[in-house]
Amino acid sequence: MNHRRRGRKLNRNASHRLALFRNLSRSIIMHESIRTTTPKAKELRPFIEKLITLAKNATLATAQADAAADPVAKKKLQMQALHLRRQAMAKLGPMHGTGLYEKDGKKITDRTVDTVLKKLFNVLGPRFVERPGGYTRIMKLHERRLGDAGEQAVIEFLKEGETKVQKQKAAPAPAPVSV
């Protein structure tokens, strides 16, 4: 029996799996949409959504600190935001400060989003402040990967103000007519 065994191993040991998730999360933060295998996308979703939650909570703490009149409360909220940022840095590992590049290979020079961590906290965190969770979507692709025919999927962030499409419930069957 497989009780209380969470997550897929993906044929990797723990450190390799963590490195994989860090690389995939860096890519999805940078490009906001990546193409990978379906099992990797399903395992990446909780990893990246926890990072987005840290960024969202830091955005809320910063906003509360700006609105606070009491200097002690303001300092406490700023420290909380800093703590959340450091937690995200630890989860992303040593690549949190790597630069962002455009598709043609040019380095992004905007100082507010020039690293993965800055984009996470300055762009993605504020985007999802109103959203209680479910920041990503996974769409399965029809074509299989060349080589091993693995199922492929696209995992991407939702756009600003976008909601997930819920499945429509089937209309109830009409009641039988008695004669």
pLDDT digits (tens, 9 = 90+) for 77-120: 999 999 999 999 999 998 877 888 887 888 888 888 888 999 99
Q: Which residue in this structure is represented by tokens 């830091």?
A: 58
Q: What is the pLDDT of residues 110-167, one digit of tens each?
A: 888 888 999 999 999 999 999 999 999 999 999 998 999 999 999 999 998 777 667 7
Alpha helices in the chain (DSSP H): 14-31, 38-67, 71-92, 116-119, 125-127
Q: Which residue in this structure is represented by tokens 């390799």?
A: 16
Distance CA 101, CA 97 (A): 13
pLDDT confidence of residue 130: 92
pLDDT confidence of residue 134: 93
pLDDT confidence of residue 74: 95
Residue 155 has which token pair? 């995992």
pLDDT confidence of residue 158: 94
Does the domain at 14-157 match CATH 3.40.50.300? Answer given as no
Q: What is the pLDDT of residues 20-71, one digit of tens each?
A: 999 999 999 999 999 999 999 999 999 999 999 999 999 999 999 999 899 9
pLDDT confidence of residue 107: 86
Q: Where are the domains of the chain?
A: 14-157
pLDDT confidence of residue 164: 66
pLDDT confidence of residue 12: 94
pLDDT confidence of residue 106: 86
Average pLDDT over residues 167-178: 80
User: Using only C-alpha atoms, what is the Rg of the chain?
Assistant: 21
Q: What is the pTM of this model?
A: 0.85
What confidence category does residue 4 fall into, taking pLDDT thresholds of 50, 70 and 90?
A: confident
Distance CA 139, CA 154 (A): 5
Instruction: Give the closest residue to 38 by CA, choosing from 150, 146, 135, 134.
Output: 150
pLDDT confidence of residue 121: 95
